[in-house]
Amino acid sequence: MNLRRTRAIFQKEARHIVRDPLSLIMALGLPLVDLLLFGYALDLDVDRIPTLIYDADRSAISRELVQHFQGSRFFEIEGFVDNYAAIEKGIDRNKILMGVAIPRDYSRQIAADGKADVQILVDGSDSNTASIALGYAESTVRNYSFQLRANGQNRHAGFKPDVPVDTELRIWYNATLESKNYIVPGLIAVILMVIAALLTSLTIAREREMGTLEQLLSTPIRPGEIVLGKMLAFFVVGVLDTLISILVGIFVFNVPFRGSILLLSFTGCIFLSCAFFWGILISTLARSQLQAYQLGILSSFLPSMLLSGFIYAIENMPPAIQAVTYLVPARYFAEIIKGIFLKGVGFNVLWPDILFLAVFSSTVFLLATRRMRRKLA
Amino acid sequence: MWGRIGVIVRKEFSQLFRSPRTRTLLFVPPLIQLIVFGYAVNLDVDNVHMGWLDGDQTPASRTLLADFQGSGRFVVVALPRTEADIQKLLDGGGVKCVVRVLPGFARDIQRGRTTAVQVLVDGTNSNTASLVSAYATQIVAAYAGSVASRETLPQVMARSASNQRISLKAPSLNSSTRVWFNPDLKSRNYFVPGVIANIIMVVTVMLTAMAIVREKEIGTLEQLIVTPIRPIELMIGKLLPAALVGLMDVAMISVGAQLIFHVPFRGSAALLFACSALFLLTSLGVGLFVSTIAQTQQQAMMSSTLFAAPTFMLSGFAFPIHNMPVPVQYFTYLNPNRYFVEILRSIFLKGAGINILWPDMAALLVYGLAIMLLSSWRFRKRLD
């Protein structure tokens, strides 16, 4: 490995980057636009569930139950209807997600101390929203039921029982349960991985398609120096992207930052090197730029989006897919960046992730170098 | 004219299918995407890893533990002993929640005092955290309900010993729930149909843009221009193969979704293809547009990603549109993917027909024609 030769490659690549301002602007603009757009728009919090109410009873007693739904911030009552068909139509046309039906004999049952049934209809297509909505609806009914029961027993026996066991919920790290607090840090990992692949996956495939790779290989420059020099040139762009994303996360989205900025920069650099080496490896594998594009997108965007635990919890996946996630560098970085942002944890907790990234990065570097050498022969 | 188009189509096809490697790259990645999406994209929360700290160690607290374990939602993986243990567990991410029963739990229940069960939840992922909180609250509430009916009876009897007739009957409410379209609440059924939209978007935009820009970069586009082929024929010849590959992908993914993931298909296959063709107008148009901007394949790749990422994220595919801020919700009406994802879900899960889907289809047609006209105008201007 010779520093001077590596620098020559670095300068050549840097010149390529500067001479293609359109790509450079996109490389710097992409994370900014995507992070702003997605951080603002993506939201998995479920509230204001559009709901229709069908009150067949129309009594003062049933209205009390309706008021409990109206008073909850989780439901947005879109209106009242007088048959089932209207609820069905609403769900079919995606106007509402939930319908509450109060039966005709509701007030009679309650007055007679009997059991009354409240029907809750949910559009289950989006199962996540549906489960959360069901949870809210059931707990609204349960709480009101307990209140009814306590009042009834009080009337009959002069005794008002308390709730025997109560749940005391404490949410750590993200007390307000805002999804942006975990989506934004995770997005940073995904966006950086994609940018890295976009920037580097064509770099060698292009030289190959143009025929300049042969010229490059006929010089005394060694394969390792080509890979390293190219990586370092793109690294500068990557560091700028990382800085932009972290600043946007902290200052635009107010994601709490509880950990060490130093540790984040350090691990960010390891992750970037990993991502860039990966792109270069892809580039050495592809025969044409089209193939490199396909392989690059397939191996960067999808895995880092889906298999990094960024949104979809890894522990819910089948074991075979879970095993694959260990090969996704974004998985480790998403873990690290969320840990540093939200939990404020340090090296003592994160060292396995950091170690793995470092091992991954050097392995990919060696593989890419070997592929280049094989092309020589 | 059709003869010349046929020549271009044949040339494109032989380039696409020339080597086994390019053939594989056309059909294997969509299949891998389907499998990864289907298995990985899952917002359901089950098998929540939890820690259990029992400060009471009585039959009452153990019953609660059994309720948690028997719910099928929670798996106890750690038994922390101290506050510091809890901190370490949640910091390391080994558990999603810790349930803590305080000393005196059983005693308080017996005396009819309200006692509390502490549930500490890792809120990092707010979605998982809301579900975990809801499940834990439900289990505790069910436990409280059974305690209440068991414990209050003797208490009421004791208090009203002097009264002769007491009624223990009290009104109660029951919520019976009905879930439509996806009764098992499987998120897979929701996500997999949407995969089709994203895969054919990415594949067709890429194929059209790269097919044209590549010829520009290598210099063969000039050679094509000096032949008698007219720009419109060249354009159609480039677009048709991409459209065919796109439709083949639709068929492959739809069949795969049913065979591998047993996603219900309740609608009409003919309608699915008709809607896909409408959607292809847009995605091919975008590919053509990109090809008029980009000079190199690098630029084509960057600009199609710049376009593809927002259309993917804001399609309602993974993130519900009704959760987005209102201005963004209006913005999504400009996104063709939004309509197609909606159509796909309605055809797969609801079996909807043209009478319900026509507004979405009309939107796709309008966008498709608009972008197609714009791009072909630019394309011809560039070539002339």
DSSP A210-272: HTHHHHHHHSS--HHHHHHHHHHHHHHHHHHHHHHHHHIIIIIS-----S-HHHHHHHHHHHH
Residue B286 lies in a domain: yes
Q: Which domain holds residue B217?
A: 29-42+186-383
Contact B173 A116 (CB under 8 A): yes
Reply yes or no on whether the pLDDT at B31 is more than 60. yes
Tell how many helices (H) and how many strands (E) occur in chain A. 15, 5
B190 touches A at CB < 8 Å: yes
Domain boundary among B112, B140, B159: B159
One domain for residues A28 and A140:
no
Contact B41 A312 (CB under 8 A): yes
Domains held by chain A: number: 2
Residue A167 lies in a domain: no
Residue B271 lies in a domain: yes
One domain for residues B146 and B198:
no
Taking the CA atoms of B344, B349, B354 and B355 in sequence, report the sign of the dihedral they define: negative
Contact B125 A30 (CB under 8 A): no
Give percent of chain A above pLDDT 70.
Answer: 95
Write down the pLDDT at residue A85: 85
Residue B163 CB partners (closer than 8 Å, separation 6+): A157
Residue B284 CB partners (closer than 8 Å, separation 6+): B204, B205, B208, B239, B242, B243, B246, B372
Reply yes or no on whether the pLDDT at B155 is more than 50. yes
Contacts of A125 in chain B (CB under 8 A): 181-182, 189-190, 345, 349-350
Pick among B139, B302, B311 to test the A interface (most A CBs inside 10 A): B302
Binning chain A into helix, strand and coil, the percentages to the nearest 5 are: 70, 10, 20
Contacts of B317 in chain A (CB under 8 A): none
**pLDDT tens profile A2-37:** 888 889 889 998 898 888 888 888 888 888 888 888
* Strands lying side by side in the sheet with B48-54: A165-172, B115-122, B97-101, B48-54, B74-78
Write down the pLDDT at residue A256: 87
Domains held by chain B: number: 2
One domain for residues B281 and B237:
yes
- Torsion angle, alpha carbons of A142, A146, A151, A154, to 10: 160
**pLDDT tens profile B157-192:** 555 555 545 555 566 666 666 767 666 667 777 788
| Total-model pTM | 0.77
Write down the pLDDT at residue A291: 82
Residue B54 sits in a domain of what CATH number? 3.40.1710.10
Q: From the list A164, A290, A318, which residue is nearest B210 (CB)?
A: A290
Reply yes or no on whether the pLDDT at B361 is more than 90. yes
One domain for residues B34 and B59:
no
Residue A248 lies in a domain: yes
Q: How many CB atoms lie within 10 A of CB A95?
A: 12
One domain for residues A36 and A11:
yes
One domain for residues B246 and B353:
yes
Residue A298 lies in a domain: yes
Tally of residues, chain A: 377
One domain for residues B37 and B95:
no
Contact B178 A315 (CB under 8 A): no
Contact A131 B174 (CB under 8 A): no
What average pLDDT does chain B have? Answer: 83
Domain boundary among B144, B159, B174: B159
Cα separation, A118 vs A213, in Å, equals: 72
Q: Which domain holds residue A120?
A: 49-157
Q: For the stretch A302-340, what's the b/e string if a residue is b when 16 or more beta carbons lie within 10 angstroms of its beta carbon? A: bbbbbbbbbbbbbebbeeebeebbeebbbbbbbbbbbbb
B355 touches A at CB < 8 Å: no
A177 touches B at CB < 8 Å: yes
CB A69 within 8 A of CB A120: no
Pick among A95, A128, A129, A138 to test the B interface (most B CBs inside 10 A): A128
Q: Which of B136, B143, B141, B142 is nearest to B119 (CA)?
A: B136
> How close B126 gets to chain A, by Cα (Å)?
5
Compute φ and ψ for A309, nearest 5 degrees: 75, 10
B343 touches A at CB < 8 Å: no
Six token digits for residue B354: 């043209």
Contact B176 A130 (CB under 8 A): no
One domain for residues B298 and B223:
yes
Q: Between the ranges A141-145, B220-224, B367-371, where is the mean pLDDT highest?
A: B367-371
Write down the pLDDT at residue B105: 86
List the single range of A33-47, A53-67, A92-106, B338-352 with lowest mean pLDDT: A33-47
**pLDDT tens profile B88-114:** 888 877 888 899 988 888 888 887 777
Write down the pLDDT at residue A377: 44
Reply yes or no on whether the pLDDT at A209 is more than 90. no
DSSP state of A340: I
Write down the pLDDT at residue A276: 92
Cα separation, A181 vs A343, in Å, equals: 11
**pLDDT tens profile A260-283:** 989 999 999 999 999 999 999 999
> How close A333 gets to chain B, by Cα (Å)?
14
Q: Residue B219's closest chain A neighbor by CA?
A: A210
Give percent of chain A above pLDDT 90.
Answer: 19
What average pLDDT does chain A have? Answer: 85
Beta strands, E only, A41-114: 49-55, 75-81, 98-102
Residue A130 sits in a domain of what CATH number? 3.40.1710.10
Write down the pLDDT at residue B365: 95
One domain for residues A215 and A346:
yes
Residue B165 lies in a domain: no
One domain for residues A313 and A206:
yes
Residue B357 lies in a domain: yes
CA atoms within 13 A on the CB side of B224: 25
Six token digits for residue B215: 């010829």
One domain for residues B244 and B114:
no
Write down the pLDDT at residue A361: 94
Radius of gyration of chain B (CA): 30
**Mean pLDDT of the region A290-304:** 83
* Strands lying side by side in the sheet with B172-180: A75-81, A49-55, A98-102, A115-123, B172-180
Write down the pLDDT at residue A161: 62
One domain for residues B276 and B339:
yes
User: Residue written as tokens 């008021």?
Assistant: A67
Six token digits for residue A55: 């009150």
Binning chain B into helix, strand and coil, the percentages to the nearest 5 are: 70, 10, 20
Write down the pLDDT at residue A238: 92
Residue B169 lies in a domain: no
One domain for residues B236 and B119:
no
Instruction: Identify the H or E element spanning A144.
Output: helix A127-157
Residue B168 lies in a domain: no
Which residues in chain B (260-279) have CB-CB distances under 8 A to chain A?
none
Contact A175 B123 (CB under 8 A): yes
One domain for residues B64 and B190:
no
Cα separation, A349 vs B94, in Å, equals: 11
Contact B91 A349 (CB under 8 A): yes
Q: A289-306 vs B297-313: helix axis angle to the nearest 10?
A: 30
> How close B369 gets to chain A, by Cα (Å)?
26
